[in-house]
């Protein structure tokens, strides 16, 4: 073919289901030597399901009332956890109430006014003090579930449990990326340490950074780049967008990925296969060898 190597590399990436936004991206992909991966929606399928509804003593709510309140507050959020809560409420036939003054804090959770109550739903580590309901939270997290704390006017009223499935190609992808770069990817996640370690152990990752806010994911990437590493970030969420932008190269998972992540990333996996990531890294390296 007469097509320049980097352009034919873009075309080949397309055949693997990866949309690279420019030829420069292919060149960058071929140079990465360290990988940082997000958990929810990246190593996992990102379509978590609600598994537990635990009203707290003194909260005054039964399971349905708790779920309905949390789902009403979560309704405007595009986070996969929010979708799990809303879907479960719908399946139980609970009619949601309108959410006013909605705000979402990436990596933390949501706040909204529902029926005159200030409802918060999000990370227990951010919303509860360490001794509050630690037994319920750790029971859920130790089995790999994500706990969502629910507060009403500042008072904890319940904890929800949500579980997500590992992508079928997650372990093979981590193995392929490890072979390509000579070291296992790191896991950068906003989720809790226990759920993160549970997933990491199943895919062959030992470098786990949990409980990270979006700017802390950026700081981790910057620290590696300051050591001379060229980092590829693979993510899907609003919370990953700053790290996708800061990295040498950012790749977003397209199917469930947030608009912000897709806009910010250098390349998008449009077919929903994580294994496309090591495939395009290998391809970009081959194309670079032809160019340089
Ligand atoms: P990850 O890095 O694993 O994709 P996120 O940064 O998106 O995770 O979220 C980190 C944590 O913040 C979640 O595990 C959850 O505890 C909390 N969180 C964020 N958004 C929401 C939400 N809409 N509802 C409940 N919890 C949320
Ligand atoms: Mg994610």
Tell me: the pLDDT tens digits for 122-158? 999 999 987 778 899 999 998 889 999 999 999 999 9
Question: Picking from 30-39, 48-57, 128-137, 164-173, which range would have the lowest pLDDT averaged per residue?
Answer: 128-137
> For 17, left (φ over 0), alpha (ψ -120 to 50), or beta?
left
Tell me the C-alpha distance between 121 and 126, whole Å: 10
The boundaries of every CATH 3.40.1110.10 domain in the chain are 49-163
CA–CA distances in Å: residue 195 to residues 86, 107, 162, 190, 284 = 22, 15, 11, 10, 33
Residue 264 has pLDDT above 90, yes or no: yes
| Banded model confidence at residue 292, pLDDT cuts 50, 70, 90 | low
- CB within 8 A of 58, min separation 6: which ones? none
Tell me: the pLDDT tens digits for 83-106? 999 999 999 999 999 999 999 998
Of residues 74 and 40, which shows the higher confidence score? 74
CA of 267 to the centre of ligand 1 (A): 23
Residue 61 has pLDDT above 90, yes or no: yes
- Provide the percentage of residues in the chain whose pLDDT is more than 70: 99
CATH number of 5-45+166-291: 3.40.50.1000
CA of 4 to the centre of ligand 1 (A): 42
**What is the CB neighbour count within 10 angstroms for residue 55?**
18
Residue 1 has pLDDT above 60, yes or no: no
Residue 78 has pLDDT above 60, yes or no: yes
Residue nearest to atom 14 of ligand 1 (CA): 191
Residue nearest to atom 20 of ligand 1 (CA): 109
Find the ligand nearest to 75 CA: 1
Mean pLDDT of 159-184: 96
CA of 79 to the centre of ligand 1 (A): 7
- ipTM higher than threshold 0.85: yes
CA–CA distances in Å: residue 14 to residues 7, 266, 267 = 11, 14, 10
> What ligand 1 atom has the least distance to the C-alpha of 189?
2
pLDDT of 291: 67
Residue 225 has pLDDT above 90, yes or no: yes
Q: Are 43 and 170 in contact (CB under 8 A)?
A: yes
**What is the CB neighbour count within 10 angstroms for residue 207?**
13
CATH number of 49-163: 3.40.1110.10
Residue 239 has pLDDT above 60, yes or no: yes
Residue nearest to atom 16 of ligand 1 (CA): 123
- Mutate which of 77, 123, 124 for ligand 1? The one with the most ligand atoms within 8 Å of its CB, which is 123
The boundaries of every CATH 3.40.50.1000 domain in the chain are 5-45+166-291
- Provide the percentage of residues in the chain whose pLDDT is more than 90: 79
pLDDT of 236: 92
> What ligand 1 atom has the least distance to the C-alpha of 80?
23
Residue 289 has pLDDT above 80, yes or no: no
| CB-based pocket (< 6 A), ligand 1 | 38-41, 74, 77, 79, 81-82, 104, 107-110, 121-123, 146, 148, 189-191, 237, 239
pLDDT of 2: 67
pLDDT of 19: 95
- Mutate which of 128, 239, 241, 256 for ligand 1? The one with the most ligand atoms within 8 Å of its CB, which is 239
Q: Which of 38, 164, 191, 240 is catalytic?
A: 38
Tell me the C-alpha distance between 162 and 82, whole Å: 10
Longest Cα–Cα distance of the chain, Å, equals 73
Q: Where are the beta strands (DSSP E) in 171-253?
A: 186-188, 208-209, 231-235, 249-253
38 in active site: yes
Mean pLDDT of 69-76: 98
Tell me the C-alpha distance between 73 and 85, whole Å: 10
């Amino acid at each position: 073919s007469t097509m320049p190597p980097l352009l034919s590399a873009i075309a080949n990436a397309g055949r693997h289901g990866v949309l690279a936004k420019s030829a420069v991206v292919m060149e960058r992909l071929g140079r990465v030597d360290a990988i940082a991966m997000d958990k929810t929606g990246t190593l996992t399928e990102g379509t978590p399901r609600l598994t537990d509804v635990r009203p707290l003593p003194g909260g005054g709510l039964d399971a349905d009332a708790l779920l309905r309140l949390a789902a009403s507050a979560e309704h405007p959020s595009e986070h996969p956890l929010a979708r799990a809560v809303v879907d479960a409420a719908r399946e139980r036939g609970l009619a949601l109430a309108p959410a006013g003054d909605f705000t979402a804090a990436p990596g933390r959770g949501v706040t909204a006014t529902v029926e005159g109550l200030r409802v918060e739903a999000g990370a227990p580590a951010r919303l509860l003090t360490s001794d509050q309901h630690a037994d319920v939270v750790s029971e859920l997290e130790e089995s790999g579930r994500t706990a969502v704390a629910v507060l009403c006017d500042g008072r904890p009223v319940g904890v929800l449990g949500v579980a997500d499935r590992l992508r079928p190609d997650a372990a093979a992808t981590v193995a392929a990326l490890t072979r390509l770069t000579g070291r296992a990817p790191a896991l950068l996640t906003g989720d809790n340490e226990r759920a993160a370690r549970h997933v990491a152990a199943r895919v062959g990752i030992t470098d786990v950074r949990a409980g990270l806010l979006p700017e802390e994911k950026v700081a981790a990437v910057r620290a590696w780049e300051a050591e001379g590493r060229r980092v590829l970030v693979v993510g899907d969420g609003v919370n990953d967008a700053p790290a996708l932008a800061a990295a040498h190269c950012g790749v977003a998972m397209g199917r469930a990925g947030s608009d912000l992540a897709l806009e910010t990333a250098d390349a998008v996996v449009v077919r929903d296969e994580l294994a496309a990531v090591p495939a395009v890294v290998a391809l970009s390296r081959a194309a670079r060898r032809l160019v340089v």
